Structure 1
Amino acid sequence: MRVLVTGHEGYIGSVLTPMLQAAGHEVVGLDTGLYADGLIGPPPAPVATLPVDLRDVTPAHCAEVDAVVHLAALCNDPLGNLDPDLTYAVNLHATQRLAAAAKAAGVTRFLFSSSCSLYGKGLDDAPLREDAAFNPITPYGTSKIESERALLALADDEFSPVFLRNATAYGFSPRLRGDLVVNDLVGHALHTNEVRLQSDGSAWRPLVHVEDICAAFLALLAAPRERVHARAYNVGRSTENYLIRDVAELVAEVVAGSRVTFAAGASADLRNYRVSCDLIAAEVPEFQPTWTLRKGIEQLVEAYTRYGLRLEDLMGPAHQRLKRITALRAAGRLDDELRWIAP
């Protein structure tokens, strides 16, 4: 297929793009380059790129495209909280615009990178299935709910959206995020010998390696349309739900000489949920996740060491989304709407 990938120069996109190419797909990227220069290691193979803001997409940008993989978003809770109206403009309204443009251009498959954040504060102790009630606690989570609903309204015989509700991502990417819980804990363990928790560690969180997220996109792209049309899937493995304190203990076990500590005033995290990934396992057996948390921690330790990543690198604007946006604004490179300012 000829696949348009939005946010192809981001954390997930930098892993997904070469995987799509290896599977024989032609990739066209759409990205304004907010995180493009945070590259670690050899650069990925170049792809044709549309340097277009999501809010400006037209049907012409989707011409001769077979499928859209929509990753681009203001991508976590702290960044989403910075300006909720802007979060909805980028995550919701621009998603609606992109989908309408894709449909008008004759695109038949639309894979949306949603999030288990839409479950928010779980209302049930049992693992949540895709039909569970939503209980978002942030604009980011709400934007994913409303985007799914908007895309579902466009679904018909000609346009087929699928919603990938990704668990909390972790793992190495050429455009690394240090603001993801596992990536953060491993960095602190390596450089301070402390696996430092900002909460009391009592919350549940489903976890999924970035490569397994990408494998899910590939599987759903290849799956027969009639099997996955307008379906939502929790992406991960049902066995990969963890208490955050147990994540920290496993990091301390893998990183010799480190120990779990708690930040002053650490309290319970409102985000607290487990999810079931049994539906994707049953309906999309082509998706075979291969990563476990231990294996992913070991990968991060090896990569951080190989590339000489310091704690200040991981915690700085190159690898922290909110800090990156704040730094670009302070430098006069982005305006208040997160659009590039011409030099």
Structure 2
Amino acid sequence: MRVLVTGGAGYIGVLTVEELLLKGYKPVVFDSFYWGKEALQPYLDKIEIIEGDCRNSKDIIYALEGISAVIHLAGIVGEFACASNQKAHHTINVESTRTLVNCCTDPEFELVRDFIFASSCSVYGNVKGLYDEVTEETPTAPLSAYAYAKLKSEEIMFKRAEEIPHFHPTSLRLTTVFGWAPRPRLDLVTNLFAYNAWKNKKITIYGDGEQYRSLIHVRDIARALVETLATPRFIRSGKIFHLGEESNNKTVKEIAELVQLFLPDTEIEYIKDKPTDRRDYKINCYKLKNIVGWNAEYSVEDGIEELITKFENMGDIDWDSPNYRNSSFKYI
């Protein structure tokens, strides 16, 4: 099976490509390569690469030739990055999904039946005081343009599935990602805390740090995407699943304290009069575990230890470069 991975050169994408290869699929990477192709170097003789823009129907139509399934990862990730790139955010995070879904189901071309979409648990916003934990049936209340765009994309693909019976989309709502990947990201809470503790011996938390984050290792995400694709259609078609691990439900304060266990000289500073990310939720992920059969393999501690080891052993790298932070990038 040839599987098109949009955003296949990104933080999650590269590991998804690796997982597809391990499971015997033929990955086709579709990417604009904002951060280059270096992370894909180990796989170049085993994969097909198509450089293009996920907003461009011409690029998409050619990329879909001979494709059996799509894993849609391309997007601008995070509230700050979306707010700083409003036009690019809307065209990439919403309209590209519409374009891709329409091309997958256009009657002039061969139908691409299977569509796995990487959504986000950010769609729930702040449920503190309302729900002890969040299930897939919990009402959504997005607090950012990024979260709203994920909901809009889900609406687009599920509505199209009602019109095209043999189109089978599935949405995986990801919890907050952490961990090392060949294209690293240091603007995620766990990764950022580990880096700041390693470099500056200091972690700064805005607010009291009592807000919860549900966390998932990037490698566990890649496995879940591929295992969901391999799940029979009648089980996953039209469904929403949370992708996370309950034991990784941590407060921001707890994440910082876990980093401190590995780097004991770290100071944790609280700045309570600065605005903070208001998301606060504990995610229940048993639906994915029970129906798809996937289980997480990495704890937050595993991810922190791995990150610190990489920082210490990878030589003279400018980790402060915008290349390692989606939030610092200017999109067009």
Given the two structures, how large is their TM-score scaled by the length of structure 1?
A: 0.89
Alignment of 1:304-323 (within 5 A): 304-308=311-315, 313-323=318-328
Determine whether 1:300 maps to 2:302.
no
Secondary structure of 1:5's partner? strand
- Distance of aligned partners of 1:140 and 1:309 in 2 relative to their CA distance in 1, 3 Å threshold: farther
Secondary structure of 1:54's partner? coil
CA distance in 1, matches of 2:118, 2:210: 27
- Distance of aligned partners of 1:309 and 1:300 in 2 relative to their CA distance in 1, 3 Å threshold: farther
Structure 2: which amino acid aligns with 1:108?
Answer: R
Determine whether 1:162 maps to 2:187.
no
Determine whether 1:237 maps to 2:245.
yes
2:186 to 160, 164, 178: 178
Kindly indicate whether the alpha-carbon contact (under 8 Å) linking 1:31 and 1:50 is maintained by their aligned counterparts in 2.
Answer: yes
1:94 is displaced (CA, Å) by 1.0
The aligned counterpart of 1:260 is 268
Determine whether 1:142 maps to 2:148.
yes
The aligned counterpart of 1:129 is 135
The aligned counterpart of 1:70 is 72
1:171 is displaced (CA, Å) by 0.4
The aligned counterpart of 2:232 is 224
Determine whether 1:290 maps to 2:297.
yes
CA distance in 2, matches of 1:87, 1:268: 22
1:29 is displaced (CA, Å) by 0.8
The aligned counterpart of 1:44 is 42
Deviation per CA, 1:68-93, whole angstroms, max 9, x where unpaired? 00000011111111143432221111
CA distance in 2, matches of 1:22, 1:167: 24
1:305 is displaced (CA, Å) by 1.3
Q: CA RMSD in A?
A: 1.8
Secondary structure of 2:41's partner? coil
Structure 1: which amino acid aligns with 2:304?
Answer: I
Structure 2: which amino acid aligns with 1:76?
Answer: G
CA distance in 2, matches of 1:322, 1:293: 22
CA distance in 2, matches of 1:195, 1:167: 22
Structure 1: which amino acid aligns with 2:151?
Answer: I
Kindly indicate whether the alpha-carbon contact (under 8 Å) linking 2:206 and 2:276 is maintained by their aligned counterparts in 1.
Answer: no
Structure 2: which amino acid aligns with 1:96?
Answer: R
Kindly indicate whether the alpha-carbon contact (under 8 Å) linking 1:162 and 1:230 is maintained by their aligned counterparts in 2.
Answer: yes
- Distance of aligned partners of 1:36 and 1:198 in 2 relative to their CA distance in 1, 3 Å threshold: farther
Structure 1: which amino acid aligns with 2:2?
Answer: R
Determine whether 1:32 maps to 2:32.
yes
1:196 is displaced (CA, Å) by 2.4
Kindly indicate whether the alpha-carbon contact (under 8 Å) linking 2:207 and 2:272 is maintained by their aligned counterparts in 1.
Answer: no
CA distance in 1, matches of 2:111, 2:91: 24
Kindly indicate whether the alpha-carbon contact (under 8 Å) linking 2:209 and 2:253 is maintained by their aligned counterparts in 1.
Answer: yes
Residue ranges of structure 1 left out of the alignment (5+ in a row) = 326-333, 339-343
Determine whether 1:248 maps to 2:256.
yes
CA distance in 2, matches of 1:122, 1:88: 26
The aligned counterpart of 1:97 is 99
1:283 is displaced (CA, Å) by 0.9
CA distance in 2, matches of 1:258, 1:145: 38
Deviation per CA, 1:34-80, whole angstroms, max 9, x where unpaired? 1226x57x833113111110111343321211100000001111111
Deviation per CA, 1:203-246, whole angstroms, max 9, x where unpaired? 11100000011111011011011011110011011221111001
Deviation per CA, 1:248-299, whole angstroms, max 9, x where unpaired? 00110122322322347445531111111011111111x1210011111111
Determine whether 1:271 maps to 2:279.
yes
CA distance in 2, matches of 1:301, 1:210: 16
Aligned-residue identity in percent: 27
The aligned counterpart of 2:124 is 119
The aligned counterpart of 1:329 is none
Kindly indicate whether the alpha-carbon contact (under 8 Å) linking 1:116 and 1:165 is maintained by their aligned counterparts in 2.
Answer: yes
The aligned counterpart of 1:2 is 2
Secondary structure of 1:68's partner? strand
Kindly indicate whether the alpha-carbon contact (under 8 Å) linking 1:195 and 1:252 is maintained by their aligned counterparts in 2.
Answer: no
Kindly indicate whether the alpha-carbon contact (under 8 Å) linking 2:322 and 2:328 is maintained by their aligned counterparts in 1.
Answer: yes
CA distance in 2, matches of 1:264, 1:165: 30
The aligned counterpart of 1:341 is none
Secondary structure of 2:323's partner? coil
Kindly indicate whether the alpha-carbon contact (under 8 Å) linking 2:3 and 2:69 is maintained by their aligned counterparts in 1.
Answer: yes
Structure 2: which amino acid aligns with 1:136?
Answer: P
